[in-house]
Amino acid sequence: DGGITQSPKYLFRKEGQNVTLSCEQNLNHDAMYWYRQDPGQGLRLIYYSQIVNDFQKGDIAEGYSVSREKKESFPLTVTSAQKNPTAFYLCASSTPRGDYATYNEQFFGPGTRLTVL
């Protein structure tokens, strides 16, 4: 079955450590996204990538880094510079937009809950 996998489901990190969250998709989607979810704040965009070897900052990129070396994979690293990293992280993917009037649905993975101890 096609879909998006995120691992691990739960992640614990000590303060000052970097940690990498995995996101893999077999939907053959070009575009991938990372969102952060905090209680009462909805989802906020961290980074997005519309094609391999290219990515752009979203609204809250500080303290995070990404890479996009393969179409299927878009790992997110939470660095020690992120002041409040405890949150639920969601990865999504979509096909690239066709003409300007179209919108292509984003499909979401199950998420990773990161807790900083």
Instruction: Decide whether 2 or 42 has the Cβ nearer to another protein.
Output: 42
Residue with smaller CB distance to another protein, 71 or 113 = 113
Residue 105 binding another protein, by CB under 8 A: yes
Nearest residue to 74 via CA among 38, 29, 13, 11: 29
Among 1, 15, 101, 117, which residue interacts with another protein (rule: CB under 8 A)? 101
| Tokens 């969102």, located at residue | 35
Smallest distance, another protein to C-beta of residue 108, A: 4
Task: Rank residues 18 and 59 by Cβ distance to another protein and give the closer one.
Answer: 59
1 scored as a contact of another protein (CB under 8 A): no
Contacts of 92 (CB under 8 A, 6+ apart): 4, 32, 33, 34, 35, 106, 107, 108, 109
List the structure tokens of 29.
């989607």
Q: How far apart are CA 23 and CA 5, in angstroms?
A: 6
- By the criterion CB under 8 A, which residues form the site for another protein? 4, 9, 40-45, 48, 50, 56, 58, 90, 92, 97, 100-101, 103-106, 108-111, 113
